[in-house]
Copies of this chain bind each other. A is one copy, B any other.
Amino acid sequence: MPASLKDVAKEAGVSPATVSRHLNGSLELPKETRERIETVVRRLGYRPNPHARRLSLGRSDTITLIVPDIANPFFAVLAATVERAASARGMIVQFHATSNLEEREIAVLRLAADHRSDGVVFCTNRKPGPDVAQALDALPRAVIVDEAVPGAHAPQIFSDNAQGGFLAGAHLARAGHRRVAYLGGDPALMSTRLRADGLEQGLRAASGGDAVNVRVLSGLHDVTSGRALAAELIDAEGDETAIFVGSDEIAIGVIETLRARGVRIPADMSLVSFDGARALHLYDPPITAVRQPAAKMGERAVELLLDGDWDDHALPDLVEHLPVELIERASVAAPRTKPTEDNETIQPDRGD
C-alpha cells in the first residue's frame, strides 16, 4: 500500500491536516517543520490519492473528449492538441468514441457529469437530437466543436464552413466548372448546409453570371459512405463536372469508386476535399482541399474550457468560426469540353 497523508503525518510528528495544508500551500510553516514534512514525503514517496482528492474537492482535474471516431485523422489531430493543451495545464484527458450513436453520446455525456469532469469537448458528426442538447446543458463546462448541436447552450467552435465552401466554389468556377456535386453528411447538419451554400455562392461569384448548379448528396462521414455517394452520383448520370466532398473520409471512398469506374481525376471529374488532415499532397493526383484548423480547434476548446470566464453569462453564446485555407493541388482542372457519347463508355482501369 502506498503511503497516505496519515502515514506522513505520523512520521513527521504532526497532524494530517498540517501536512495537507502545507502541501496545498494553505499553511505557512516554520522552516524546520516544513523540512521535516518534506523529508518524510520524499522518503515515503508520498503521492496524494487522486480519488480521495476528487471526492473531497468535487472536481476531477480531468477533461473529457468525446468524438465519433478517434481513428479519423481529423479527430486524431484534434485529440492530440486537446491532450497537449490539457496536460500542459495539469489536466488528464479521458476520451470516448461514440461511433455517432446518439445513445452513446448521451451515455458518455452523463458519465462526464458523474465524473465531475472539469470540461467536456464534444464532437459529433450526426444531427444530435434534443436529448443530447439536454445532456450537454447539464454539464457545468462543455464546448461544442466541429458540428452544431441545436438547442445546446454552450460555446461552439467551428471551422468556417461557409468560407470553406465559398473558396472551393470559387476555385472550381475559376477552373471553369459550373455544375458541382456536394457529397457530404446529413443535410440537416449545419456544416452540410453552410458548405453547400458556400459552394454555390463561391461558384456564382466566380463564374461571371453563368448559371451554376449544386447537387447535394448526403450520407455519413466515412469511407463506405464516400463509395456509395460516388456510385450514386455516377449512376445518376448528371452533368456535374466536379465533386466537393465534406471530409477526407468521403474523399477516399470517392476516389476509390471513381477509379474503379474509370473516371479520371481531374480529367473527367475534378475533386476538392474538406478536412486536409490526411496526406493528400501525396495522393494520385494530389487532392485540392479546404484545410480545417483541427489543431487550433482543439487548442481553442481547451483554452475556453480552462481559461474561459465561466461566470460570464454570455460565454455559452459564443460561436467562433476559425479560418480555413484552400490548398490548391492537382485534382482540379478545367472540365472536359462537351461530353461526347463515345467517351461516356466505361472502360475499367487496371484493377489495383
Contact = CB atoms under 8 A, between A and B. Distances in A.
Contacts of A252: 279, 282
Nearest to A82: B70
A69 interface: yes
A168 interface: no
A147 to B, nearest CB: 19
Contacts of A87: 96-97
A84 B110 contact: no
A70 B70 CA distance: 9
Interface in A250-296: 252, 255-256, 278-279, 281-286
B114 A49 contact: yes
A93 interface: yes
A209 interface: no
Copies of this chain, complex-wide, total 2
Interface in A277-331: 278-279, 281-286, 329-330
Interface residues of A, number: 47
Given A51-B55, A54-B51, A352-B286, A94 B97 contact: no
Interface stretch (A73-81, A184-192, A228-236): A73-81
A284 B279 CA distance: 11
Given A71-B77, A84-B97, A330-B352, 17 more contacts: A55-B55, A62-B94, A70-B76, A70-B80, A71-B76, A73-B73, A73-B76, A83-B95, A92-B94, A92-B96, A92-B111, A93-B96, A94-B95, A95-B95, A256-B282, A278-B278, A282-B284
18 contacts: A49-B114, A50-B114, A50-B115, A51-B55, A51-B116, A69-B80, A70-B79, A70-B80, A71-B77, A73-B73, A76-B79, A80-B97, A83-B95, A87-B97, A94-B95, A95-B95, A279-B283, A283-B283
